[in-house]
A and B are shown apart, each in its own frame.
Chain A
Amino acid sequence: MYWNKEAETIDAVSLSEQQAARLKKTVESLYSNIQFYKKQMDLAGVKPADIKTVSDIRKLPFTTREDLRENFPDGLLAIPKKDIVRLHTSSGTTGKPKAIFFSKHDIDAASDLMARSLYMTGLRNTDIFQNMMTYGLFTGALMMHYGAEKIGCMVIPAGPGNTARQISLMQDFETTAIHITPSYGLYLASVLQKQGLDPATDLSLKKAYVGAEPYTEETRKKIESLLKVDAYNCYGLSEMNGPGVAFECERKNGLHLWEDNFLMEILDPVTGEPIPDGEEGELVLTTLNREAMPILRYRTKDITKILPDKCPCGRTHRRIHRIIGRADDMFIVKGVNIYPQQIERVLMSVKGVAENYQINLENLDKMTVKVEIDKNMFDGKVEHIVTLRNEITERLKNEILVKPVVELLEPGTLPVSEGKAVRVIDTRTM
């Protein structure tokens, strides 16, 4: 049932001791090997010797994505270059990418966490794991690959696309697990349907690891019922090794964050003050088991909350809620914190709308969500548009707790956004 029972069911006191020891070691290495961190810690007036317990984390400086960019390419290395065995980069929407280096130890540790995560969902050495993610500078595909291989699965490094070939691979080699993006998962299901293939009888699929794009619980259920799989949510970021930071267990209710490898804080995104368990805040992570590029208090900008109850699976590592939104993008309507990602997830799960959307905020907290309809959705019947609009309004209200005005627009009406462009137009003056 456990990949590493001792580590996964560790009691709170032992975990805290282990974290403190690892934090101490990390801080010592950072301070003596990385100019940037020495300077930051000196500025904050903190010495490695001041770090004795986990709660001392609050004395330490934050690391932002800008810090990573400013120290590009190798300003945050804690070990000699000859000991680096792998480079990954994480592309930013603007400017320089972030470079992440791994030593042999780091790759092994990341693979082990990945194996722990996958094993937790029931993946075993008898499974055939078809990896449909992009291999390359992006950490997602490779780390999953290593984890599945470590468990002993047969891994098929298919990469994305070429759906006909994906299907033959799944049939010929009796693939039982796939790693896939939600949009490709839905597309794959539609192609199977068109070819008259029923996943229940024509394929051997049991599990899908779905990630790299935001998606709703509803989309998960859709993928599960269309592909006849159990779909699991994973969380990670390249700066923190990639996908194995937090993962769902078989209960599919929150993601266990591996606290022996990452020190987790949930903070107020503006003040940086701690937020009680159960309430939303920014996830801030410190690596506890990385030698090449340890990172202190990394501001992930991801908003989540800790699920305080014990998980029935027996693992003691606390669970986080699936990522709710990005800290930078939050806006407030009628006293409610709202993230564009929540709206995006809803729109992505509704059939009949295109990708482009815009959120307008006007005085008196009037919120309008403008969304383009899918050209193929229009069949001349106004009733169908009204139904679609009502469906979107209702689903948005359920997600964000505020009922917006939904405007359906003709395709091509909204400005085409480059990457993660500004989707929120706030003209409120009071």
Chain B
Amino acid sequence: MKTLRQLSVFAENKPGKIEKITKALADAGINILAISITTTTEGFGAIKFIVDNSNLALETLKQNGFTATLNEVLGIKLQDKPGGLYFVTHLLTKNNINIENAHVFVDGHREKAYLLVEVEDIEDVKDRLSREGLLFYPE
């Protein structure tokens, strides 16, 4: 199965962290397709990226001393019309799917948008949602 991999970088509450990470990725010629920042009230969190070359990105960040990891996420295709996001979230709720983290990602051709969700069992969720007629990334 083709999967979508998300790059997560540990971030404590220090100014300039995102700048340093994105510079390291830029220097390695990596294209960032989506970004999401999760912070807690305690002042630390994770910065999450979808990039065009996740293996190289992970390698680059580790070499630069960052604490990073790759994990799989599910990309759910969004319809390009009002209510498109609502339609998907409604189905998630209806199927009682618990989302640990979510953000939106627009594909490389800037044509299609996807809702990226972190769920415990990707295969199971994919299975249940495809029965509702939803499409995924990669297709």
Contact = CB atoms under 8 A, between A and B. Distances in A.
Interface stretch (A47-55, A64-72, A114-122, A381-389): A381-389
B42 A375 contact: no
Contacts of B100: 381, 383
A378 B66 CA distance: 11
A70 to B, nearest CB: 44
Given A380-B8, A380-B48, A413-B12, A386 B43 contact: no
Q: Which of A381, A407, A409 has the most CB of B within 10 A?
A: A381
Contacts of A380: 6, 8, 46, 48, 69-71
Interface string A361-387: 000000000000101001111110110
Interface in A143-160: none
Contacts of A412: 65
Contacts of B40: 382, 385-386
A408 interface: yes
A51 to B, nearest CB: 59
B66 A410 contact: yes
A308 interface: no
B37 to A, nearest CB: 10
B48 A410 contact: no
Given A373-B10, A378-B8, A381-B100, A408 B69 contact: no
Interface residues of B, number: 24
Interface residues of A, number: 18
Interface string B114-133: 00001000000000000000
A45 interface: no
A291 to B, nearest CB: 57
A411 interface: yes
Contact of A379 (B39, B43, B71): B71
A410 B12 contact: yes
Nearest to A406: B42
B42 A389 contact: yes
A381 B43 CA distance: 15
Interface string B1-20: 00000101011100000000
B53 interface: no
Contacts, number: 57
A15 B39 CA distance: 63
B137 to A, nearest CB: 19
Contact of B67 (A381, A389, A410): A410
Contacts of A386: 40, 42
A410 B10 contact: yes
Main secondary structure of the interface of B (DSSP, over half): strand
B55 interface: no
Contacts of B12: 407-410, 413
Nearest to B69: A380
Q: Which of A375, A407, A410, A412 has the most CB of B within 10 A?
A: A410
A410 B70 CA distance: 17
Interface in A176-212: none
A375 B38 contact: no
A333 to B, nearest CB: 20
A412 B12 CA distance: 13
Contacts of A408: 12, 44
A340 to B, nearest CB: 22
Contacts of B6: 380
A378 B69 contact: yes
Contacts of B38: 382
A116 B39 CA distance: 57
A352 to B, nearest CB: 12
A373 B10 CA distance: 10
Nearest to A393: B42
Contact of A411 (B11, B67, B69, B70): B67
29 contacts: A373-B67, A375-B67, A378-B8, A378-B68, A379-B8, A380-B6, A380-B8, A380-B48, A380-B69, A380-B70, A380-B71, A381-B8, A382-B38, A382-B39, A382-B45, A382-B46, A385-B10, A385-B45, A385-B46, A389-B42, A389-B44, A407-B12, A407-B43, A409-B12, A410-B10, A410-B66, A410-B67, A412-B65, A413-B12
Given A378-B8, A385-B44, 4 more contacts: A373-B67, A382-B44, A409-B12, A410-B11
Interface of A: 373, 375, 378-383, 385-386, 389, 407-413
Enumerate the 8 nearest inter-chain pairs by beta-carbon distance, A residue then B residue, closest first: A380-B8, A380-B71, A382-B38, A378-B10, A380-B69, A378-B67, A382-B46, A410-B67
